[in-house]
Structure 1
Amino acid sequence: MDITFSHLLKANAVSQWLNHYMDYDGLALQITQLEQKRNHGVLIDEDHLLFATALDSEMDKVTAFYTQMEHTLYSKLDFLQQQMSDGSTERQMATLYTSLMDLEAYVELNRTGFTKVVTLYNQRLDKDLNINPLISGTALSSHIDRLKRTYAQWYCHDSIPLATRQLTHPTQAVEVMKGKHFSGSLTTTTTTITTTNKHQPPAIAPSFTISCCGHRVISIPTLNLRQYICFLLAVLLFIALLSIDCFGNRQENYCFALLVFAAILWATEAIPLYATSLALPFLIVLLGVMRTDSGQPMAASAASKAVFGSMFSSTIMMLLGGFALAAALGKYGIARAFATHVLSRAGTRPRWVLLAIMLVAGFLSMWISNVATPVLCFSLIEPILRTLPDDDDDDDDSVEKPKLTVTSSSPSVVGSCLILGIALASCIGGMTSPISSPQNIITVQYMDPTPGWGVWFMVALPISILSIFVCWFLLLLVYRPDRASPHLNKIQPSGNSKITRTQVAVMAITLITIGLWCAETTLASYLGSTGIVATLPLFLFFGTGILDKEDLNGFLWSVVVLAQGGMALGEAVTSSGLLQDIALRIKETVAHLDVMVILAIFSVLVLVFATFVSHTVAALIIIPIVQQVGQQLPVPHPNLLVMGAGLACSAGMGLPVSGYPNMSAIMLEDPLSGRPYLTTRDFVVTGVLTSIFCCLLVITMGYGIMFSLGY
């Protein structure tokens, strides 16, 4: 039996169609039983007939489901082509494209599975069984091409490649709001441009055009115009600051200009975040902002060595180790199995299902990051979302709909409540472990000595657990999900009850790695740092074949590059003396204040920045300054201030743009109505209150715990 293909089939199956895929494991088991009978001399022709019957039955099941879905999706495409004057059609076309591609993948997976089963049967039993081609994909491919042509004609200036990119990655259309990309099994919302006249076609990708003598010289899509303007303003301000003497020192002046330039590009995302990071080493060396310990300008060769040395550190290795753990836990279904096991015991009352999914999201964020957790959790609640009626279809007048956030034309109150709960819990979960979010990785980089995992848990877990419960209470208060839908469908555990050897190995390696991270302080004389421990899962997972090259390529390398750019910039502002100069000026203002008050000031500053920009960018820009201020205090408390500010980054969750989980949630829409589950108002009503409470916990409880630990 091909265990690898069995895992591949389960991992790539569309969750709603699980019961309609071929029973690969069952057919493979029958072949094994036939082989055993042959070896014992009890195999008869009737056994082969029974296998052939089972094989035909599975093929009929797959063909029948394909035919049904084919008819449904083709009819939907015909209907949408007749409704192209409706601006909402763009979202529905993207949704339909995803369904067609899922159906195409369904055919390929089953075709591969049947081929493998027949090959296995022939090899083990010395037979020459042949099967007819499962399904012809010609008609399906032609309909996919028809959808692309229609979409390109209406929305992409007849550009098929552009239409393919937008349909394949629909979340790219919301880059104007926030440049982070997510993928998941739920429908994603795209930005739609419509006209007010229903009898006219919708406006298609409007552009800003410059013409000369009647000829078009340049045409810039309006959707990208803001990015172009922000980038141009950043460059102009950068050039202006290079010529202004703000600090009385060339290295500090140039480094300040570079810091402002990078901050603007990161905050506005005029170019991708990681692209800004890639430009920083070049600009740091070119501008000559690095200085030696004696204060002399550093030679370019020495500066480049110092910059690149700062970009690969123990923190980066810990980040890669975290990615490896997340990849293994996800690939072999351990994270999903754990989540569904917990949710299956949550009952059917919405309040307990909500609490369970929030706790699961918070817990999984500790290990597979709060970037991947929301997508997984959203897929887990799909069976619930599919069975929830829209609010406008609810005829029960006794159900009081929450007036704060949900209108009568919104999707189900319970669906919105569950999705928002996952997003906010994932944001809170971003503070739970050193690898749970990019901002934590940056925070750890600026703490000396690096905190052990046990220390981090002692500070972060009480804050995060209390915050999740408060958020849950607020969601119940605002949405009243028990009134809207007294009972929900029960989530069933996924996967086989049998645990494989590979899953045992993955869990063992994960637990050993976490144990070593927690004992980092005790084992420092042997292992040195957490980065060295991180090489253990990387070696074991890839060395044993548990993970492969495709898994390595799937790591969030953009996050790695972003963190490396922040470290390079941190090295530059430290070496140039700019960071110390800024810290001294801030220290003069806050030195007379109590450490708790200073923590409160920086926590609120970080919270606001993280809410309106992003968690990661807030950490990149503010954490280095916080560390330097902490070192300059009469009684230094750099680790206390840095960790407190880092935790406050994850507390920012009051807007859709506040973090990866919120961005993932705001793009989800009801596939039937085409309406988004959440609006900005949903995040403001519950997210802002949760953010304030979480930040207060960091300032009070967090301060008390960190101070007692000697920070």
Structure 2
Amino acid sequence: MVRAFPAFAPLPSRMTFLKFLRSVKNELILFFTPLAFLPLPLVIGTAEAECAYVIIMMAVFWCTEVLPLAITALLPALLFPLFGIMESKDVCMQYLKDTNLLFVGGLMVAVAVEHWNLHKRIALRVLLFVGVRPALLMLGFMGVTAFLSMWISNTATTAMMVPIVQAVLEQLNDNEAEIPQILSSEEQQVQTSDPDSKQPLQTEKQSEGQQGSVVVTFLDTAVEAAKRKEAAEKKRMCKGMTLCVCYAASIGGTATLTGTGPNLVLKGQMSQLFPENGDVINFASWFGFAFPNMILMLTLAWLWLQFVFMGFNFKKTWGCGAVKTEKDIAAYNVIREQHRLLGPMTFGEISVLGLFTLLVVMWFSRDPGFVDGWATTIFNSEAEYVTDATVAIFIAILLFVLPSKAPSFCCRSHSFDTVPPQAAGPTPRLLTWKVVQKKLPWGIVLLLGGGFALAKGSEVSGLSKWLGDQMAPLQSIPPWAIAIILCLLIATFTECTSNVATATLFLPVLASMSQSIGINPLYVMVPCTLSASFAFMLPVATPPNAIVFSYGYLKVADMARTGIVMNIIGILCITLAINTWGKAMFELDSFPVWANATGV
């Protein structure tokens, strides 16, 4: 039968239509989000409503990532002047504040450490020290990863550590040679079960009885069961060893002010919203609060991973009373060989290590809090002419000034890589701009700036005050309960979006809420800042999770089951920290005078 209208195609099926919607999802969000919330500026028309329109649109774009995060962060520079909230020059000034330069300077030092492979040398040295027993090896991996994440990007740390973990696991799990030993020992046990018979198996086979087949079947079953049990243990150990790296990277970044983006957002928002706070959040004060919390979290995370993936067999996982096997020796040799391939420390490595040490010492001693720091002593002024950003930029500039090779007149021996006499020309510096351009995540600078612009716009428009007034009924709830609820909310939210974007959206609101209900803003802002880094449950939540997941050991269910307990551990540790030594450090029992003042 011939069709009358062959040109018309059948209607697309429901699945085809859904597939089409998924393919244009980003375009639909980009088009309909501004339209859906357009009544805010058009119907209500107040400055608060116009600022809320910008914030809601940015929140949707940040959560869905329909635009790059840094491009979404530029929207205030376009929309605030158009709505008459702020002048363009005032908005643009928010994108390169003191905190942004602190971030840039600190990351330049981190790029130099990574460029000279100093982080890998530190990691391998520590692993050689702790050994290759599973429990201690996991502790070594977590300790090294957390320490490195305090100073360099958690993504770079994870990308460097996971191949080392993979190489060690290959040696620890290469135990095929043990299977014949298991078989021979069980055969021997069966053969010696009848002391009066010298060849029981041969006799039974010759008589074609059924008992021989039963014994052989039992042997096969026992060997297969041993193989399955061994394979399951190996798989669990691989999961635990890889998970520990991404968890430690996220935990370690919370310990220092420059370790992760949310910490810098807090620093910048405090300076923006409470300019009279007296630099209550600086490198030394943050480290004093967050480092003990990091140690506590890291210990509990290690114990939790031990319980889930390895158990507490002290002889097997700790090596108590056990002799080193060939697998242990082979795994140790892998680490030692990788360390040997790095060769002796070069002049450049030693220089970068010295500058890094100088940076940390200057950060701690600038304004330690309990005594006058070197900045106050030298400049003899209470004004903050010198900040943590000043120190970071000073060390970053030195990286471009100092040579990467020892001058020939300074070192006659061959201890350092001296410049040969025939190699005339400029000596390479410790860091070059080409390396910085390639490795520095410039998008985070714009992301931080966008957050500061949002906070300033909320303040100028009156949105912050309006939000604070709406939260006045929270006065009847104990502050510790408010902090726990907010930490749970942010820890859930950060699983789906960038931790920097999460902190950027929530911190100004929390500051307004604190002023409204009369509690110290740091009591909720500090715990929520830490919670923004607790993205443990999903592979897409943070780059370290994605790197670990890509190696194929883990399923999404593995990360979700383990990660939800990690989130609970993190929130409990934060609650303990903010209500014990945090109260003493930041004087959280009283409402500070500087919280009454707002930025201008």
TM-score category, normalised to shorter length: 0.7 to 0.9
1:286 aligns with 2:77: no
Q: 2:69 corresponds to which residue?
A: 273
Counterpart CA distance in 2 for 1:579 and 1:684 is 35
The one of 657, 673, 683 equivalent to 2:559 is 683
Counterpart CA distance in 2 for 1:388 and 1:575 is 60
Q: Closer, same or farther in 2 for the Cα pair 1:335/1:253, shift >3 Å?
A: same
Structure 2: runs of 5 or more not aligned: 1-8, 12-18, 180-222, 271-276, 320-324, 368-372, 380-384, 403-428, 589-600
* Offset of residue 222 of structure 1: 7.3
The one of 51, 54, 72 equivalent to 1:255 is 51
Counterpart CA distance in 1 for 2:290 and 2:37 is 38
Q: Closer, same or farther in 2 for the Cα pair 1:367/1:599, shift >3 Å?
A: same
Identity, % of aligned positions: 23
Q: Is the 8 A contact 1:603 1:699 kept in 2?
A: no
Counterpart CA distance in 1 for 2:575 and 2:70 is 31
Q: Closer, same or farther in 2 for the Cα pair 1:230/1:501, shift >3 Å?
A: same
Counterpart CA distance in 2 for 1:222 and 1:387 is 48
Counterpart CA distance in 2 for 1:277 and 1:379 is 34
SS of the residue aligned with 1:381? Answer: helix
Q: Is the 8 A contact 1:315 1:531 kept in 2?
A: yes
1:650-669 to 2 correspondence within 5 Å?
Answer: 650-666=533-549, 668-669=550-551
Q: 2:202 corresponds to which residue?
A: none
Structure 1: runs of 5 or more not aligned: 1-209, 213-219, 291-302, 670-675
The one of 449, 455, 472 equivalent to 1:564 is 449
Counterpart CA distance in 1 for 2:112 and 2:548 is 24
Q: Closer, same or farther in 2 for the Cα pair 1:350/1:222, shift >3 Å?
A: farther
The one of 687, 696, 708 equivalent to 2:572 is 696
Question: 1:171-209 deviations in whole A, cap 9, x for unaligned?
Answer: xxxxxxxxxxxxxxxxxxxxxxxxxxxxxxxxxxxxxxx
Q: Is the 8 A contact 2:247 2:536 kept in 1?
A: yes
Q: 2:485 corresponds to which residue?
A: 601
Counterpart CA distance in 2 for 1:211 and 1:564 is 52
Q: Is the 8 A contact 1:371 1:437 kept in 2?
A: no
SS of the residue aligned with 1:575? Answer: helix
Q: 2:290 corresponds to which residue?
A: 460
The one of 480, 486, 502 equivalent to 1:618 is 502
Q: Closer, same or farther in 2 for the Cα pair 1:646/1:523, shift >3 Å?
A: farther
Q: Is the 8 A contact 1:340 1:494 kept in 2?
A: no
Q: 2:361 corresponds to which residue?
A: 515
Q: Is the 8 A contact 2:58 2:75 kept in 1?
A: no
1:435 aligns with 2:263: no
Q: Closer, same or farther in 2 for the Cα pair 1:542/1:256, shift >3 Å?
A: same
Question: 1:457-507 deviations in whole A, cap 9, x for unaligned?
Answer: 221112111111211112122112777998551222255563322222212
Q: Closer, same or farther in 2 for the Cα pair 1:211/1:458, shift >3 Å?
A: farther
Q: Is the 8 A contact 1:603 1:644 kept in 2?
A: yes
Q: Closer, same or farther in 2 for the Cα pair 1:337/1:224, shift >3 Å?
A: farther
Counterpart CA distance in 2 for 1:256 and 1:211 is 45
Q: Closer, same or farther in 2 for the Cα pair 1:388/1:627, shift >3 Å?
A: same
1:641 aligns with 2:487: no
* Offset of residue 698 of structure 1: 0.6
Amino acid at match of 2:72: T
Q: 1:472 corresponds to which residue?
A: 302
1:705 aligns with 2:581: yes
Q: Is the 8 A contact 1:311 1:565 kept in 2?
A: yes
Amino acid at match of 2:468: A
1:141-156 to 2 correspondence within 5 Å?
Answer: none
1:333-372 to 2 correspondence within 5 Å?
Answer: 333-372=117-156
Q: Is the 8 A contact 2:113 2:352 kept in 1?
A: yes
1:528 aligns with 2:411: no
Q: Is the 8 A contact 2:283 2:388 kept in 1?
A: no
Q: Is the 8 A contact 1:238 1:258 kept in 2?
A: no
The one of 233, 236, 243 equivalent to 2:35 is 236
Q: Is the 8 A contact 1:374 1:664 kept in 2?
A: yes
How many residues were matched structurally? 468
Q: Is the 8 A contact 2:76 2:91 kept in 1?
A: no
1:312 aligns with 2:100: no
Amino acid at match of 2:505: I
Q: 2:463 corresponds to which residue?
A: 578
Identify the structure with bigger relative contact order (alpha carbons < 8 Å, sequence gap 6+): 2
* Offset of residue 454 of structure 1: 2.2
SS of the residue aligned with 2:254? Answer: coil
Q: 2:247 corresponds to which residue?
A: 424
Amino acid at match of 1:321: G
Amino acid at match of 2:310: R
Q: Is the 8 A contact 1:611 1:654 kept in 2?
A: yes
Counterpart CA distance in 1 for 2:486 and 2:134 is 38
1:386-397 to 2 correspondence within 5 Å?
Answer: 386-387=170-171, 397=225
Q: 2:345 corresponds to which residue?
A: 499
Q: Is the 8 A contact 2:70 2:444 kept in 1?
A: yes
Q: Is the 8 A contact 1:369 1:436 kept in 2?
A: yes
Q: Closer, same or farther in 2 for the Cα pair 1:347/1:633, shift >3 Å?
A: same
The one of 510, 522, 539 equivalent to 2:397 is 539
1:415 aligns with 2:291: no
Per the normalisation by structure 2, the TM-score is 0.72
Q: Is the 8 A contact 1:428 1:468 kept in 2?
A: yes
Question: 1:401-443 deviations in whole A, cap 9, x for unaligned?
Answer: 69xxxx97x9833222211110111111121111111111112
Amino acid at match of 2:460: S
Q: What is the RMSD of the two structures over their aligned residues, measured on CA atoms? A: 3.1
Counterpart CA distance in 1 for 2:30 and 2:137 is 45
Counterpart CA distance in 1 for 2:256 and 2:224 is 44
Q: Closer, same or farther in 2 for the Cα pair 1:441/1:495, shift >3 Å?
A: farther
Question: 1:615-669 deviations in whole A, cap 9, x for unaligned?
Answer: 22211111111122223333x4112321121111122312223223212222x22
SS of the residue aligned with 1:613? Answer: coil
Counterpart CA distance in 2 for 1:262 and 1:429 is 29
Per the normalisation by structure 1, the TM-score is 0.61
Amino acid at match of 2:559: F
Q: Is the 8 A contact 1:391 1:412 kept in 2?
A: no
* Offset of residue 537 of structure 1: 1.6
Question: 1:233-276 deviations in whole A, cap 9, x for unaligned?
Answer: 3222242433342xxx6211111011000000001111111121
Counterpart CA distance in 2 for 1:211 and 1:322 is 61
Q: 1:374 corresponds to which residue?
A: 158
